[in-house]
Amino acid sequence: MLGVVTAAAAGLLLLLLLLRDRLFPFLWADLGAFVALAGASLRCRRRLSRRPAVTLLEVFQEHARRQPRRPLLLFQDKRHTYGDVEQLSSRAARVFSQRLGLQPGQTVAVFLPNEPTYVWTWLALAKLGCAMACLNYNVRGQALLHALAAARATFVLASTELQDALEEVLPDLQRDGIKVFYLSSTSPTPGVEALLPAIETASDEPLPGHYRAGITASSKAIYIYTSGTTGLPKAAVITEQKLMMVANLGRICGLRATDHIYTTLPLYHSAGLLIGVGGCLEVGATCVLRAKFSASQFWDDCRRYNVTVIQYVGELMRYLCNTPKRDNDQKHRVRLAVGNGLRAEVWKEFLQRFGPISIWEFYGATEGNAGFINYTGKIGAVGRANAFLKSFAPFELIKYNVEQDEPIRDERGFCIRVRPGETGLLVIKITKNTPFYGYAGDSKKTEKKILRDVLVKGDAFFNSGDLLMMDHEKFVYFQDRVGDTFRWKGENVATTEVEATLAMVNFIREVNVYGVSVPGCEGKCGMAAIRLKPGMSFEGENLYAFTRETLPSYAAPRFVRIQEALEITGTFKQCKGNLVREGFDPDIIKDPLFFRDEKMKSYVPMNADIYAAIQEAKLNL
């Protein structure tokens, strides 16, 4: 790695002598980003290669020694300093070791809402050399059992808030020999012990080092479940090295020890736990934790807790923009926003409304082996394909056949790079720098994410499942998830593009676009679920005229349904599954439903006659 840095620096100096800034307007930014990333990577490697390894836990403990009184967590009216959390996690580790008989290398699942308990439990497990599996607190029944089995978790530490969900599967857990405990002061469930009283009275002496003697860079630290588009949750393996790299993302974006970072994202996902809390543990900052995101409370919380950095994902920023305007919209100390999935139109509106906040949009998947960050301030871009970074994490955008759901290959069987301005599937080479650890207990799913023989025989790339576009200046833009693009009339329709266009309509507040099957038609036909702005009504003629002007005819949605609320996931991504399944059948859908009528030049109410005509292919779509 050092060799790469020195060589790059020397080569650059030479280049600089020969060329002017004008030719490479982004040279400094490119170089800066490379140095930041290479620096972070070097720091992680250096720490982890020490014996014993210095992991994120040791980094946290160093902060706890140096600044025991700095708050690590602000939650409701409670404040937990670095010193408090260091002691509490030692106490908990002692109890976990004695009562549960935990051994290094075992996996313990946590079933907890966002609360400080999550953080000290994590650190306690780390102190014992155990991995933590972060169960999604919305998961129930079979999916819960599957998640535990995938990570081979033999213990569950739960909150009494999730009593019902737990009791539902308790007999199955007991049958499988999985032991369950509450991390509360009392237990509402017979046969399940509450551990808090024992934790509160245990010794807070540091734990003997032998528990962590076997920890290395590739030890499994955390399992994060990714839902994917279909099927049961997959347990993505987060090693100590990956954990530390992701925790460094905040530092790369400018997170400092004096910052207060506001995390409303669920801790069972990587954004909240690894980037938010992990970022604090890395730099020694304060995390303002909230049980659940609330758009109306967001800025009041920022003022109350002196928040300087916010985290966002998906639609979260849109919800903030959708709240009624207030005089104090720009009265806050937030200087930085870190996240992903921000759409360009919301990005602009957000900055206008809430003031000059530096937005660090990044792209990455929990299980992915590399990502991008926007480091040049280009609105809408997730990053830049900078030659330095590319040498570090080689990626390609390749041609993709949306219909057959697979990359297009040439006559020799290799994948084909797209040209600038074209959308392609992002694949990232699997190398020593960019390893892919896959999913626990599921080698089939792991193999499915690996694309082989991409450019040469025998190479292997991580298939991101995301379609991106790179422009002539090498800015990279997120376009769609593979499943979010559908084909209609032989054309690819990118749902995000249609959504961005429809979002400009004056009566539309939120929109979710997807494709539905129509009997006798190839591909999928476009449909939009929309939420109206308060006090506004649906105007079929206007929408028709607008879409006719702004969208190619194959991309204009044929059906529109109006919903009170659009369904989203725990990480603020829109759900399309149910919508696709319900299709456009007026018998199933109770929401107001409209059909694009080319003769009437309007979106007209859907009725049984129109539906029947479509079913019988009498009506041309």
Q: Which is nearer to ligand NAG, 182 or 360 (CB)?
A: 360
Residues that contact ligand NAG, how many (by CB under 6 A): 11
- Does the footprint of ligand NAG cover residue 475 (CB under 6 A)? no
Considering only 160, 218, 297, 358, the residue that binds ligand NAG (CB under 6 A) is 358
What does the alpha-carbon distance between residue 148 and residue 151 come to, in Å, rounded to a whole number?
6
Report how far Cα 463 is from the mean position of its chain's Cα atoms: 16
Residue 16, helix vs strand vs coil: helix
Is the Cα torsion angle 601, 602, 608, 612 positive or negative in sign? positive
CB burial readout 312-323, b (16+ within 10 A) else e: bbbbbbbbbbbe
**Length of the chain measured in residues:** 621
Q: Which two tokens stand for residue 460?
A: 């292997």
Q: Which stretch binds ligand NAG (CB under 6 A): 220-228, 372-380, 534-542, 572-580?
A: 372-380
Give me the 101-140 binding string for ligand NAG, x by CB under 6 A, dash otherwise.
----------------------------------------
What does the alpha-carbon distance between residue 315 and residue 340 come to, in Å, rounded to a whole number?
10
- Does the footprint of ligand NAG cover residue 463 (CB under 6 A)? no
Residue 328, helix vs strand vs coil: helix
Backbone φ and ψ for 494, nearest 5 degrees, come out as -90, 115
CB burial readout 56-67, b (16+ within 10 A) else e: bbebbbebbeee
Site residues for ligand NAG, window 66-95 (CB under 6 A)?
A: 74
Q: Which is nearer to ligand NAG, 29 or 575 (CB)?
A: 29
**Closest Cα to residue 34, out of 279, 393, 274?**
393
Nearest distance from residue 29's CB to ligand NAG, in Å? 7
Q: Which is nearer to ligand NAG, 286 or 369 (CB)?
A: 286
- Residues 6 or more apart whose Cβ sits within 8 Å of residue 120: 80, 85, 88, 89, 92
Q: Which stretch binds ligand NAG (CB under 6 A): 8-16, 120-128, 371-379, 397-405?
A: 371-379
Backbone φ and ψ for 414, nearest 5 degrees, come out as -100, 160
Q: Which is nearer to ligand NAG, 293 or 375 (CB)?
A: 375
Q: Which is nearer to ligand NAG, 31 or 379 (CB)?
A: 379
Backbone φ and ψ for 110, nearest 5 degrees, come out as -110, 140
Nearest distance from residue 311's CB to ligand NAG, in Å? 15
Q: Which is nearer to ligand NAG, 74 or 135 (CB)?
A: 74
Which helix (DSSP H) or strand (DSSP E) does residue 282 occupy? helix 278-283
Site residues for ligand NAG, window 376-395 (CB under 6 A)?
A: 376-377, 379
- Residues 6 or more apart whose Cβ sits within 8 Å of residue 505: 542, 543, 546
**Closest Cα to residue 88, out of 201, 250, 236?**
201
Q: Which is nearer to ligand NAG, 293 or 360 (CB)?
A: 360
Q: Which is nearer to ligand NAG, 212 or 378 (CB)?
A: 378
- Does the footprint of ligand NAG cover residue 147 (CB under 6 A)? no
Nearest distance from residue 380's CB to ligand NAG, in Å? 9
Backbone φ and ψ for 4, nearest 5 degrees, come out as -60, -45
Q: What is the dihedral of CA 593, 594, 595, 597, to 10 degrees?
A: 160
Q: Which is nearer to ligand NAG, 375 or 461 (CB)?
A: 375
Q: Which stretch binds ligand NAG (CB under 6 A): 110-118, 182-190, 375-383, 403-411?
A: 375-383
Nearest distance from residue 336's CB to ligand NAG, in Å? 9
- β-strand partners of 462: 428, 450
- Residues 6 or more apart whose Cβ sits within 8 Å of residue 215: 52, 53, 55, 104, 129, 240
Considering only 374, 423, 463, 495, the residue that binds ligand NAG (CB under 6 A) is 374
Nearest distance from residue 70's CB to ligand NAG, in Å? 11
Q: Which is nearer to ligand NAG, 318 or 596 (CB)?
A: 318
Nearest distance from residue 427's CB to ligand NAG, in Å? 25
Q: Which is nearer to ligand NAG, 311 or 495 (CB)?
A: 311
Q: Which is nearer to ligand NAG, 384 or 561 (CB)?
A: 384
What does the alpha-carbon distance between residue 563 and residue 567 come to, in Å, rounded to a whole number?
9
Nearest distance from residue 376's CB to ligand NAG, in Å? 6
Q: What is the residue type of 22? A: R
- Name the burial class of residue 451, with classes exposed (0-12), middle (13-18) and buried (19+) by CB atoms within 10 angstroms of its CB: buried
Q: Which stretch binds ligand NAG (CB under 6 A): 184-192, 354-362, 518-526, 527-535?
A: 354-362
Nearest distance from residue 330's CB to ligand NAG, in Å? 15
- Does the footprint of ligand NAG cover residue 360 (CB under 6 A)? yes
Considering only 111, 118, 182, 305, the residue that binds ligand NAG (CB under 6 A) is 305
Q: Which stretch binds ligand NAG (CB under 6 A): 130-138, 368-376, 434-442, 446-454?
A: 368-376
- Does the footprint of ligand NAG cover residue 306 (CB under 6 A)? yes
Considering only 122, 225, 362, 375, the residue that binds ligand NAG (CB under 6 A) is 375
Nearest distance from residue 425's CB to ligand NAG, in Å? 25
Q: Which residues of 438-521 form beta strands (DSSP E)?
A: 450-452, 460-470, 475-481, 485-488, 491-494, 508-516
Upper half-sphere CA count for residue 517 (Cβ side, 13 Å): 5
Nearest distance from residue 348's CB to ligand NAG, in Å? 9
**Closest Cα to residue 399, out of 357, 378, 427, 370?**
427
What does the alpha-carbon distance between residue 143 and residue 380 come to, in Å, rounded to a whole number?
36
Q: Which is nearer to ligand NAG, 27 or 450 (CB)?
A: 27
Nearest distance from residue 74's CB to ligand NAG, in Å? 6
Q: Which is nearer to ligand NAG, 380 or 586 (CB)?
A: 380
Q: Which stretch binds ligand NAG (CB under 6 A): 187-195, 355-363, 572-580, 604-612?
A: 355-363
Considering only 150, 359, 467, 527, the residue that binds ligand NAG (CB under 6 A) is 359
Q: Note the residues at the interface with ligand NAG (CB under 6 A).
A: 74, 305-306, 358-360, 374-377, 379
